[in-house]
Amino acid sequence: MDSLALSRQQLDGDRMIVNMGPSHPTTHGTLRIVLELQGETITKATPEMGYLHRGVEKLGENLSYQQFIPLTDRLNYCSSIMNNVGYTTAVEKLLGIEIPKRAQQIRVLVSELARIADHLVCVGVNAVDIGAFTAFLYLFRQRETIYDLFEMAAGQRLHTSFTRIGGLFRDIPEGFVPLTERFLVECEASLQEMENLLSHNPIWHDRTKGVGAISAEDAVNWGYSGPCLRAAGVPQDLRKAQPYLGYETYDFDIPIGTTGDVFDRYLVRTEEMRQSLRIIRQVLDRLEPGPVMIDDPKIALPSKEKVYTRMESLIHHFKLIMHGMDMPVGEVYSATEAANGELGFYIVSDGGKNPYRIRVRPPCLPIFSSFEEQVKGGLIADAVAVLGAMNIIAGELDR
Amino acid sequence: MIIEHIDAQLPGTVTDRHDFRGDQTIVIARENLLAVVALLHREGFQFLVDITAVDWPEREQRFDVVYHWLNLASQERLRVKVPVADGASVPSLTGTFKTANWFEREVFDLFGIRFEGHPDLRRLLTWDDFPGHALRKDFPLDGGDVFCMEGCTAPFNNGERGGA
Contact assessment for residue A111 and residue A339, using Cβ atoms and an 8 Å cutoff: no
**pLDDT tens digit sequence for A35-46:** 888 888 888 888
Least confident of A5-9, A336-340, B2-6: A5-9
Question: Mutation test of the interface with chain A: which of B24, B59, B98, choosing the one with the most A Cβ atoms within 10 A?
Answer: B98
Cα A35 to its chain centre, rounded Å, is 27
Whether residue A70 is preceded by a cis peptide bond, meaning omega within 30 degrees of 0, is no
Distances (CA, A) of A242 to A89, A92, A245: 13, 16, 10
The pLDDT of residue B2: 82
Residue range A11-20: average pLDDT? 75
Which residues in A lie closer than 8 A to residue B49 (C-beta atoms)? 223, 335, 342, 344, 361
Q: Of A249, A248, A266, give the one whose Cα is nearest residue A257.
A: A266
- pLDDT at A8 (0 to 100): 56
Percent of chain A topping pLDDT 70: 96
- On chain B, the residues whose CB falls within 8 A of the CB of A395 are none
Q: State residue B139 phi and psi, 5-degree precision.
A: -85, 120
User: Quick one: pLDDT at residue A395?
Assistant: 86
Q: For residues B138 and B98, give the distance between their C-alpha atoms in angstroms, rounded to a whole number.
A: 31
CA angle A161, A166, A171 (to 5 degrees): 60
What local confidence, expressed as pLDDT, does residue A110 receive?
92
Interface of A with B in 173-212 (CB under 8 A): none
pLDDT of A378 above 90? no
Residue from the list A50, A220, A221 with its beta carbon closest to the beta carbon of B124 = A50
The per-residue pLDDT for B163 is 38
Asked whether the beta carbons of residue A399 and residue B125 sit closer than 8 angstroms, the reply is yes
A391 vs chain B: nearest CA distance in angstroms? 17
Residue A66 DSSP one-character state: G
Nearest to A223 by CA among A117, A320, A335: A335
Residue of A49, A53, A396 to mutate, interface with B, max B Cβ within 10 Å: A53
Average pLDDT value over all residues in chain A: 87
Residue A329, chain B, CB below 8 Å: the answer is no
B107/B86 Cα distance (integer angstroms): 13
Q: Is the pLDDT of residue A264 over 70?
A: yes
B47, B98, B102 ranked by CB distance to A365: nearest: B102
Lowest average pLDDT, out of A114-123, A165-174, A248-257, B136-145, goes to B136-145
Distance from CA of A263 to the nearest CA of B (A): 24
- DSSP letter string, B83-101: EE-TT-EEE--TTT-TTHH
| Residue of chain B minimizing CA distance to A358 | B54
What would the DSSP string read from start to end of A240-272?
HHS--TTGGGS-------SS-SHHHHHHHHHHH
Cβ contact, residue pair A62, B156, below 8 Å:
yes
Q: What is the pLDDT of residue B149?
A: 55
Specify the pLDDT at position A347. Answer: 93
Using 50, 70 and 90 to split pLDDT, how confident is the model at A119?
A: very high
Cα–Cα distance for residue pair B7/A395, rounded to 1 Å? 41
- For B135, the closest chain A residue by CA position comes to A58
Among chain B residues, the shortest Cα distance to A334 is held by B23
* Residue in B20, B52, B139 closest to A330 by CB: B20
What phi and psi values does residue A58 have, to the nearest 5 degrees?
Answer: -65, -45
Whether the CB of A59 is below 8 Å from some CB of chain B: the reply is: yes
How many alpha carbons lie under 13 Å from residue B69 in its C-beta half-sphere? 28
Q: What is the pLDDT of residue A281?
A: 92
CB A365 within 8 A of CB A339: no
Q: Does A222 contact B79 at a Cβ distance shorter than 8 Å?
A: no
> What pLDDT, in 10s, does the model give residues A121-150?
889 888 888 888 888 888 888 889 999 999
Cα–Cα nearest to A264, from A302, A292, A228: A228
> What is the predicted pLDDT for the residue at A211?
87
Which SS3 state, helix, strand or coil, does residue A16 take? strand
What are the chain A neighbours of B23 within 8 Å (beta carbons)? 331-333
**What is the per-residue pLDDT for B134?**
87
Strand locations in chain A, DSSP E?
Answer: 15-20, 32-38, 41-48, 163-164, 167-168, 329-338, 341-350, 357-361
Q: What was the pLDDT predicted at A13? A: 65
Which residues make Cβ contacts (< 8 Å) with residue B19, sequence separation at least 6?
Answer: B25
Q: What one-letter code names the amino acid at A123?
A: V
Q: What is the pLDDT of residue A137?
A: 84
Characterize the bridge pairing of strands B89-91 and B114-116.
Answer: parallel
Q: Tell me the count of A-B CB pairs closer than 8 A.
A: 92
Q: Which of A49, A62, A223 sits opposite B141 (nearest CB)?
A: A62
Give this complex's ipTM: 0.85
Residue of A396, A356, A393 whose CA lies nearest to A60: A356
- For residue A230, give the nearest of A126, A117, A341, A78 by alpha carbon: A341
pLDDT band at A6 (very low <50, low <70, confident <90, very high): very low
Rounded Cα distance, B54 and B107, in Å: 10
Residues of chain B with pLDDT under 70: 145-164
A289: exposed, middle or buried (C-beta count within 10 Å: 0-12, 13-18, 19+)?
Answer: exposed
User: What SS3 state is found at A19?
Assistant: strand
- Give the global pTM: 0.87
Mean pLDDT of A262-283: 92
Chain B residues at the A interface, defined by Cβ less than 8 Å, are 20-21, 23, 25, 46-50, 52, 54-55, 66, 68, 72, 75, 77, 79, 97-99, 101-103, 106, 110, 123-128, 134-135, 139, 141, 156
Nearest residue in A to B55, CA atom:
A357
What does DSSP say about strands B77-84 and B23-28: parallel, antiparallel, or unpaired?
Answer: parallel
For A210: left if phi > 0, alpha if psi spans -120 to 50, otherwise beta; the answer is: left
Mean pLDDT calculated for residue range A201-215: 87
Whether residue B54 and residue A236 make contact (CB cut-off 8 A), yes or no, is: no
Q: What distances in angstroms separate CA B98 from CA A192, A219, A361, A369, B19, one per listed residue?
A: 38, 10, 16, 9, 29
Tell me which residue of A369, A386, A383 sits closest to A36, measured CA to CA.
Answer: A383
